[in-house]
Structure 1
Amino acid sequence: MIHSQNCSSVKQKGGGAKDIVGTGPFILEEFQRDVILTWVRNDNYWGGTPYLERIEVTYIPESVTAKAMMVAGEADMWMSPTMLDLVELEEAGFTRISGWGGIQWHLLPNADDPNSIWSNKKLREAVEYAIDKQALCDALGYGFYEPLFTISPQGDWGGDRQFRNYDPEKAKQLLAEAGYPDGLEITLLAQTQSSGRNDVAEAVKGYLDAVGFKVNLDIADTGRYSAAIYADGFEDLALAMSGNDQDYLVSAQRWWGPQPRLDLQGYECTPELAAIFEKSLKTNDRNEQKKLTEEIVYYIAEEALVIPLYNNPTSVIHNGKVHTTYLQQGLTRFDYANTWLEK
């Protein structure tokens, strides 16, 4: 929302695309893309004067450097530590905070293209049977990752049922039945991590190669990866994320519905599925909402439209002096006005 008296000047500067207009507790002081974001206290904030004088968000692409800054006392909080760094810092006396919100990671097959090999359900099923999700979580999650058996995390609506277990022989059988008894060469798209690699993609490749797939990894930078996932599409498989909300019906609508917040390429919301989504919007009865959410989640699982891998409950690490309610309301809401720091 832009005040009418300021609207014309904002338009002259580019329509507000790069000019922050708001009534929040902090005012933007400096922004350098991929370098730093600095906020200073808004003393005229309508909700009362914030506790902090300023907030500096520094972009550190290398996890080794970020961890060293935490250990040296050069940073108060690390928002995206690796699982190993999270474990090691907590063991060293740092404070971990977490909440119910998380990131769910899946394999997206290019199934919405009728001319794609991935329109064959048996091929999609073969991929899921090939992957030992619990072993993947144990190896890479350091006790934090949870296996995903549907798009919904365990404990959320629709997250209670397992459709396919780890069965490499079944995967080989389905691959042959899909028309590839001698194997199939495919490409797996994934986003580069701070190491320049993607350990999940490498693990998935190992499982798929073992049953007859021949996986070529395409580890893309953030720009190319995002363009492929949300706009341009990809050839075979892509490692992609979704999120969860206070109930999974909201999440399903945002990520997998006929009018999603982000248009994940490769995924198809079929007419049958869209009809269930439409029905779910027309009831305010919680039991009916739960039932319809389960129908949505189970449909996607049964058709293997998405191949769920694991849930990563969000955690951040701080020096023990940061007082915040972050993650209590999900991972996109940060109450900066009421956050404070011990001296």
Structure 2
Amino acid sequence: MTAFKRTWPQRLAALGLLGALLLSACSVGEGSDDESSESVEQKLVVGADEDGYTTEGAEADVGQYPLNVNIFESLVRMDENYEIEPSLATKWEFVAPNTWRFELREGVEFHDGTPFDAEAVKYSFDRVAKTGGGTPGFEKGGTKVVDDYTVEITPQFDNRRLLEQLVHPSYSIIAPDSNPGEEPIGTGPFSLVEYKRQQRIVVERYDGYWGEPAQLEEITFSFLPDPNARRLALEAGEVDLVLDVAREAIPDLESKGFLIAESQPGAYSAMYLNISGQKGYTILQDSNVRHAIGYAIDRETLIGGIFEGLATDEQTMVPSRLLGESGASEVEGFTYDQAEAERLLDESGWTMGSGGVREKDGEPLRLELINGFPSASDHGAVPEYIQGQLGDVGIEVEIVKTPDTASYEERLATGEGDIWMEQGSQNDANPLFLPALLFWSVGLFGDIGYQQL
């Protein structure tokens, strides 16, 4: 969640709910074991979520993020054990007090024939610097060309984590003087064939790739924001594979012979509580009310019911596998305790009214739940479940649906809402990634008040 800029209410409190599993499904074709690889067309059509690319300005990122289609490459990459490996950079070293020096791979060309060199790295990172520098903290003049295949990077703050941050596709290397919003040109194993906004992006195998060539000849990513539309496209044979399968669709797909592939928990569903004190939205400044919300939610039933067991109960937005078993066990949060929730509300003077809604000084305990990011449909029945759970302790919840990311962000910019439903992801191997992103004053979202909580 680091590639776009968002405006938030001045102060929010995070109340983690679940580390939800991302799922994908692919069809199992009849007779596939008997067919030779030569007889099968090496093309793949993928049903993806909404088109989240930015197409204008210095933030243009078509083909990079959030859907990385392997047009571009970073200086380094990470293996399954979170170890850094060479990519466009072959060697690197830290030069005190705050500089990283990289030796670059020679003999690499961009898809348009332009040589890859230190100037390309400087162009790419200077471009990120124009929009604030991203998580690594690139700054104007901070990337220097030493020679054709050596570059030095000095971020705007002491950053020993820069190396692992460069793995992120947002910091890929693009061809000098090119614009990913108009014509994405990289060094990756695939090159662009076509991009039609909100419809599809098509890439083909780049035969001049410096590394091991891709097995597929062509990949088409069709943007289908509605999860039901993705499922129907899969069943109709219009796509070969779909991403982010709706939980409720899994039993039916499995019964029809489709393979469901489960990823490790990396995404999370969470509620953010607005404690900014903005007029009309001051109730959650009371810590007793916030804690009551935490105690009022039965996570076990939520996981077993709505999530059908395809989620883990997390007390933090950081995936447990990054904390380690011992570290994760030390994180204490809320357990389901309806009596404790009611006690806290009583203590704060919220008494139960005749209609089942608590009141204080003649005002009802009514909250607005904004559903949600990236869109209301992504959260399924979770908001209604939360509404019911809070209703059981006397908190009335009105659900406000936002159909897409843009409308959610427009609402978020006003700060009008008490509870904000979001899905996010940990796209960095360091456990401090999300906390630093939100709570560190010089983090990517450090100017929006998280660090003051």
| Aligned-partner residue type, residue 45 of structure 1 | Y
Q: Hey, what's the Cα distance between the residues in 2 that align with 1:135 and 1:103?
A: 20
Please provide the CA RMSD for this pair. Answer: 2.9
Distance, in Å, in 1 between the alignment partners of 2:337 and 2:377 is: 32
**Letter of the 1:127 counterpart:** I
The residue number in structure 1 matching 2:418 is 236
How far has the Cα of 1:48 moved from its partner? 3.9
Pick closer, same or farther for the CA change 1:130–1:78 going to 2, 3 Å. same
2:285 corresponds to which residue?
119
Verify: 1:173 aligned to 2:343, yes or no: yes
Q: Report if the CA contact (8 A) 1:87-1:142 is conserved.
A: no
**Superposed CA offset, 1:120-143 (max 9, x none):** 211110111111011111111112
Letter in 2 for 1:67: R
Q: Distance in 1 between matches of 2:291 and 2:191?
A: 50
Structure of higher CA gyration radius: 2
Counterparts of residues 72-83 of structure 1 (less than 5 Å)? 72-83=236-247
Give the one of 230, 246, 249 matched to 1:66. Answer: 230
Relative to structure 2, which stretch is displaced further, 171-180 or 207-216? 171-180
Structure 1 residue identity aligned to 2:300: Q
> What is the CA–CA distance in structure 2 between the aligned matches of 1:259 and 1:137, rounded to whole Å?
35
TM-score relative to the length of structure 1:
0.67
Query: Is the 2:272–2:420 contact (alpha carbons within 8 Å) kept by the matching residues of 1?
Result: yes
Look up the match of 1:328. none
Taking the aligned partners of 1:172 and 1:96, their CA distance within structure 2 comes to 41
Distance of aligned partners of 1:190 and 1:159 in 2 relative to their CA distance in 1, 3 Å threshold: farther
| SS state at 2:201 partner | strand
Give the C-alpha shift of residue 88 in structure 1.
Answer: 3.0
**Contact kept? 2:440, 2:446, Cα under 8 Å:** no
Tell me, yes or no, if structure 1 residue 226 matches structure 2 residue 392.
no
- How far 1:154 moved relative to its partner? 4.2
Change (3 A) 1:16 1:40: closer
Which letter maps to 2:253? L
The aligned counterpart of 1:98 is 262
In the alignment, the residues of structure 1 paired with residue 121 and residue 419 of structure 2 have an alpha-carbon distance, to the nearest angstrom, of 42
State the distance in 1 between where 2:219 and 2:399 align. 38
Match of 2:302 in 1: 136
- Identify the residue that residue 27 of structure 1 maps to in structure 2: 191
In the alignment, is the contact (CA less than 8 A) between 2:228 and 2:246 conserved in 1? no
8 A contact 2:204–2:218 mirrored in 1: yes
In the aligned structure 1, how far is the partner of 2:438 from the partner of 2:246?
Answer: 25
Cα gap change, 1:232 to 1:75, in 2 (>3 Å): same
Report 1:188-267 matches (<5 A): 188-191=369-372, 192-194=375-377, 198-222=380-404, 223-229=406-412, 231-244=413-426, 245-262=428-445
TM-score by length of 2: 0.52
Q: 2:367 aligns with which of 168, 186, 204?
A: 186
Residue type of the partner of 2:366? E
Q: How many equivalent residue pairs? A: 262
Q: After TM superposition, what 4+ stretches of structure 1 lie above 6 angstroms from structure 2?
A: none
Percent identical residues: 24
Residues 51-102 of structure 1 deviation map (CA, whole Å, 9 limit, x = unaligned): 2111111122333332232223322111111012234323433222233342
Partner of 1:88: 252
Partners in 1 of 2:388 and 2:440 — Cα distance?
32
Aligned to 2:207: 43
SS of alignment partner, residue 140 of structure 1: coil
How many angstroms does 1:237 deviate by? 0.8
Question: Structure 2: how far apart are the matches of 1:239 and 1:263?
Answer: 20
- Structure number with higher helix proportion: 1
The verdict on how the C-alpha distance between 1:25 and 1:154 changes in structure 2, with shifts beyond 3 A counting, is: closer
Could you tell me how far 1:155 is from its partner in structure 2? 4.8
**Equivalent-residue separation in structure 2 for 1:189 and 1:16 (angstroms):** 33
Output the CA distance in 2 between the equivalents of 1:57 and 1:179: 54
Superposition deviation, residue 200 in structure 1:
0.7
Q: Which has the bigger relative contact order, CA under 8 A and spacing at least 6?
A: 1
Moved more, 66-75 or 123-132: 66-75
Structure 1 residues 202 and 87, CA, compared in 2 at 3 Å: closer, same or farther? same
In structure 2, the residue corresponding to 1:141 is in which secondary structure? coil
Task: Tell me by how many angstroms 1:164 deviates.
Answer: 2.0
- Can you give the 5+ residue segments of structure 1 that lack an aligned partner in the other structure? 271-304, 306-343
In structure 2, distance between residues paired with 1:21 and 1:227: 32
Could you report, residue by residue, the CA deviation over 1:142-171 in whole angstroms, capped at 9, with x for unpaired residues?
Answer: 121122223334454253233321112221
Give the AA of the match of 1:90: E
Deviation at 1:206, TM superposition (A): 0.7
Query: 1:249 offset after TM fit, Å?
Result: 2.4
Change (3 A) 1:189 1:19: same
| Cα distance change of structure 1 residues 93 and 263 upon mapping to structure 2, 3 Å threshold | farther
Q: Which residue of 1 aligns with 2:451?
A: 269
